[in-house]
Structure 1
């Protein structure tokens, strides 16, 4: 009969968080309903019992900020915990509380007027005591600021739009208060900033009326690394036709908006080689200027998506053959249109031995480094990748901008069957879609320009964004299968110590 009358413990009033000066005595209260006599036990944030804290009201002398919670239980082993509350303490010399303070908001620290340089951090603070802890809402020029509801207002990169008069509205269940007004002035910064830094690098190797070049490969690779260290988003391409260059430039120009350095349009550097930029770049602009994204996050996300699209590699794949051999295929990019596929036998299986693998591609991609004397240049760049990947074979895939469909990697496995003593072959195919710059479909831009010429309209101009200074048209090499090469051959490659045909620096006063 008695059990049917038992009811759960219900907390009808939870304690509230408070913000008080050091050594202020504050009372935390909890009210609960239940059956029979209720017992109370208060705990600190360390889950340590508060000595003597066995009543519904707990008197605390605020020594430091601390969390508190109360457990309520009855004689029938039912229990219920209150909400965690914070007793926040501020050690301030003159808190200035009224003698008959009842817990209404009391502003002890008002925001101070200040002058901030553009691009620097703006911080305004307000300190208000209250029981319960007050709520905050910041205003600028009489209008509430969305999301600015803490005792500190912070703006990471101050702009001219942030100047004005600031106030903070402070309230709790008892009363409301307004801080004194704080005037904020934003002055120009001595250091210029950019909303982003992007770079398109194109190096051509093969020309119809000029000997094959060696320098562009290393120059583009090294310049790409340097620019990336300076915070640039880089797309690097090798050996493009004129139409492919125009299509790449058209896509790249879509990334250029306010605040992005465009050296191709700067009259101080038009027609100059990269080695001369350090002399002609007008002061005080610098390639090392920091990036400030405030107000430009939308454009930043667009540029980042485009850069990632042009540099996105296929994921590593594990192929399992019928004989039980497992082959791992991974990928590395040296340029945005040059990729290397690595093959490695990961597990030989119970019946296979003497395993070797080769890689092929469909369609067969040209290898612009297959000519005599040219392979060592690319191999030197691959040396670090080969050491890291430790492949059994690799396949170089160049000219990815020409892809109009998916790229398929064919893996041929040769092995000796241990039971049958036969030399056997198995093959598997891996569809990797359109890797790197192939996903940008530059060939569509080329087709559009060809159609435009057929209609009699002029071809789209490159404007000032000139990439190649030679008037000769790059020679399109015939499509050839990527040249597979073995681990032993690659590990023998040595990094060249000098380049005999590296171009010298031109006279800055001469037109190009």
Structure 2
């Protein structure tokens, strides 16, 4: 390992404070560090110096560890030697934190850009980074390291350029064992004017005159009654339009890149092609031949045969090619399955206290939430939960389950698997956590089965490595033979799950492939099988991560199945109300200040436990030349980054997943403040609106302050910080619909992206609360203007970086930037 030349004194105050807290203990702390550093005489502390460190505990803000670190900084102790000593004394937490902090010091300032070149020309790719002295560079084309004279410099020069140079390039910037990857840059060659005879000007397979086909429809055999899904896509500028043809006859109703026929018949057999075109170019897809087979057998009556019977199994040959054992009645046509309701709990843990920080769960949970809501799932999504909050959230989720309900649980974060049991790790799990610090997925499944659910889907986007600290064999409850369980593991047993950084946000590999398939009208296991096949075809993920599917699902149940509930289902109404009251946004407020300024406060939800508050000036007297309203004095329960509060854009406020499309008054600027961890709010949310303004004839700024109370917004009403009884009752057991009181002031039950949208309106029956229109509505945060009773849209919610990326062309060209869960 190269030497870390940087001194301990180069660490920031926040890093030193965190390290000192880790060292302020008696078992493995500052005294042990003082002994470890004494192997080099210049860092040896005298008895008086050690006494001085010890006396720091007498001061309220004193820290012996911080004092020792300051002495080491004064003596120019290097980070390399400090890390060596921390490892020597076996302080794994501090060593890991210092390593991850040092890695953050390397920042790429200039990213390599895609290049177009002609054969024989000159191509220069540039990557520059800031950080500690002595940074090294390594260039790669795909997996192959470039070993020529510029392959280890910030500028890679390809001269003369050859067709063999075409491909994707990436630069690895490293300092010792710490490294960071640049983004990928694609170098491709374009034909020179007037190609020589015998040379093709079409250098890219599937490209026609500037239009590049990136996905082709595939031939397949389907049964009558099954759904047919064909997909093709292309890249071009201007964007591509699509037109599908069946046996060369235009299908005028299908004008998108995907063709979906929910229930095929023999009339749908034949050849399918797609025409892709724009203003300048046109291309045709490959021909996909669709063969329609005999009807699927979905249900049969069986004669029960004991397991001890030694007779050979008798079988009868029914119509067609199907062999059915002891079938009494012929199969009916096609059976359509329904859910009595569909609910999902999505948990993404990122900011771990004692473990590696993750980046992808925020984007993964956000995108999966939007997709599930399109399929009428009631979704609650929560970020960064501790042990108690995860337990309470799961308990609340189980209360929503009932007979025939589809339940889906998704977890992204750190995890492990011991003796066949999977464990989800909360953010407050200690460094050497065991099963008692985590949640056992199999225990949750056992409790889900007690609800007689129609479908249980568990998607675990986490590592499944063995936890050597945990030697306890957990004995979950016995699973019933229900034939309705689907486990989708993002990776195999004893393997890691990875995430990859893309621009401002990261995506997990599993979700990157799942989001393309999850809305397909297919049996859940078929859909997940295709996800696994997609992952297997990606060369860079092959051998690193592979989806594992475990299922006993015997019926053709799909996530797209429609909801069919009784007209007077009390349990269905109770479920709607139970979560509706917990996802209410505060009503928009108008504050009138003494100086004549009128300020509006609006509220939008990014997740079920993350809310954005915006402030804007509605009116101001002419004699006031400038004014702005800022929010302050928030309670300590919630998490607010003060450096990112009261910002002019959502991005500056820390919201990567919401962008400002248009405001009701776009000429009036707004300030945004993002509030996280609402699940920890123990009282009503209170804060202060501070108005800063200046009169035209005065130089001094004037301030006015108004306290604001907005109740308990979104998921904070559930009090997830409180322990739950061991066996909470079902939502259908004893709910009184009259016990749910939705505050009149809360006119918006919907949220920006993830809260379940069930507007509670007077004069409507409880059975109509679950409106398909509301559940399929756009992902729009809502705010209420002070002059109106109807919620008005404020901003549209979308994944900012992904809106600029064609997902169908996402080939993980930057998959080397791996982080494991």
TM-score normalized with structure 1 length: 0.48
More contact order relative to length (CA 8 Å, sep ≥ 6) = 1
Highest Rg: 1 or 2? 1
The structure with the greater share of residues assigned to strand is 1
